[in-house]
């Protein structure tokens, strides 16, 4: 007979010890849950995937009117819609994943109370679901660039790198919020607020160079500041990244590690307090 599966349920588990092997054992659940989320998201909506396109177009329209025409921000010669869309691609992914992951545990509480699985599967699957939005945003950007005859930047290979930062930053926020929401329901109300503030506190509708030099350091404490700038730079080029962006990347890594650890600690008491 092959080696027996062994499970130890113990009152004492080091808070830093994360069972990666077990996580891999549950990869099929992860895949099926992701599939479910994507299916359910578009089931019964008449326009289906079109909603993913409509929402950014409306935002883009408003941005173009206010920042492009009225305020006339300096985009470095790039047509404003392209400038804004490039930033929005990173931001919309972030906003979606943060909200969805953040509510993923509360949303699945019936399941969480009835069966065991590594809870991290829930926020992580939402980060994959958000990929649909990201890809759609890129396609939309491509169409607009084609219209304006604007070529992609030569840095386009870096999209992947900045998307990884984008992914981990969004997931980190989602993981933090999902664990915090279990303990304090107040955080449910924090998410929409953060999305709203963050949209203007990140260089989406305007370039970060508009922020006065003495505030730059604090500005880049927002991890999405560096990520949005990075994503835009790799898509359409422009001025080199500010050296302050490293602050954003550092914060992303920090948020992710602490988030997973905090989640891991809270995981054990989820069923008791949900």
Catalog residues that contact other proteins under the rule CB under 8 A. Answer: 4-11, 13, 28-29, 31-33, 35-36, 39-40, 43-44, 108, 110-117, 182-186, 268-269, 271-274
CA distance 13 to 258: 17
Q: From the CB of 246, what's the least distance to other proteins, in Å?
A: 33
Q: Are the C-beta atoms of residues 104 and 126 closer than 8 Å to each other?
A: yes
Min separation Cβ 57 and other proteins, Å:
26
Question: Which CB atom, from 117 or from 152, has the smaller least distance to other proteins?
Answer: 117
The pairs formed by 19-28 with CB atoms below 8 angstroms and a separation of 24 or more are 19/118, 22/118, 23/118, 23/120, 23/121, 26/117, 26/118, 26/121
Name the residue nearer to other proteins (CB basis): 39 or 214: 39
Helix, strand or coil for residue 192?
helix
Judge whether 91 and 224 are in contact, CB under 8 Å.
Answer: yes
Please report how close the Cβ of residue 127 comes to other proteins at its closest, in angstroms. 19
270: left (phi over 0), alpha (psi -120 to 50) or beta: alpha
CB of 184 to other proteins, least distance (A): 5
Say if CB 68 and CB 80 are below 8 A apart: yes
40/58 with CB nearer other proteins? 40
Quote the CA–CA distance of 91 and 85 in Å, as a whole number: 10
Separation of first and last alpha carbons in the chain:
41
Q: How far is the CB of 17 from other proteins (least distance, A)?
A: 14
Nearest C-alpha neighbor of 165 from the set 112, 242, 116, 225: 225
Q: Is the CB of 11 or the CB of 72 nearer to other proteins?
A: 11
CA distance 149 to 143: 10
Tell me how far, at minimum, the Cβ of 10 lies from other proteins, in Å.
5
Query: In the bound complex, what is the minimum distance in angstroms from residue 49's beta carbon to other proteins?
Result: 16
């Amino acid at each position: 007979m092959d080696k027996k599966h062994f499970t130890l349920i113990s009152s004492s588990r080091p808070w830093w010890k994360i069972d990666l092997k077990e996580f891999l054992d549950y990869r099929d659940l992860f895949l099926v849950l992701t599939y479910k989320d994507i299916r359910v998201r578009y089931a019964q909506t008449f326009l289906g995937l079109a909603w993913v396109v409509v929402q950014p177009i409306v935002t883009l329209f408003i941005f173009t009117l206010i920042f492009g025409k009225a305020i006339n921000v300096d985009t470095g010669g790039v047509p404003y819609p392209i400038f804004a869309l490039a930033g929005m691609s990173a931001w919309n992914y972030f906003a979606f994943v943060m909200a969805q992951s953040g509510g993923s545990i509360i949303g699945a509480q019936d399941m969480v109370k009835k069966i065991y699985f590594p809870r991290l599967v829930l926020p992580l699957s939402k980060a994959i679901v958000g990929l649909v939005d990201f890809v759609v945003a890129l396609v939309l950007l491509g169409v607009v660039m084609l219209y304006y005859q604007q070529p992609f930047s030569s840095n386009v290979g870096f999209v992947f790198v900045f998307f990884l930062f984008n992914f981990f930053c969004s997931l980190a926020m989602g993981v933090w919020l999902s664990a915090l929401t279990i303990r304090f329901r107040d955080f449910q109300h924090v998410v929409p607020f953060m999305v709203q503030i963050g949209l203007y506190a990140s260089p989406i509708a305007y370039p970060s160079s508009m922020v006065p030099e003495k505030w730059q350091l604090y500005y880049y404490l927002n991890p999405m500041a560096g990520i949005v700038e990075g994503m835009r730079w790799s898509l359409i080029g422009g001025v080199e990244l500010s050296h302050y962006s490293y602050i954003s990347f550092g914060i992303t890594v920090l948020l992710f590690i602490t988030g997973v650890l905090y989640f891991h600690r809270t995981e054990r008491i989820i069923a008791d307090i949900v």
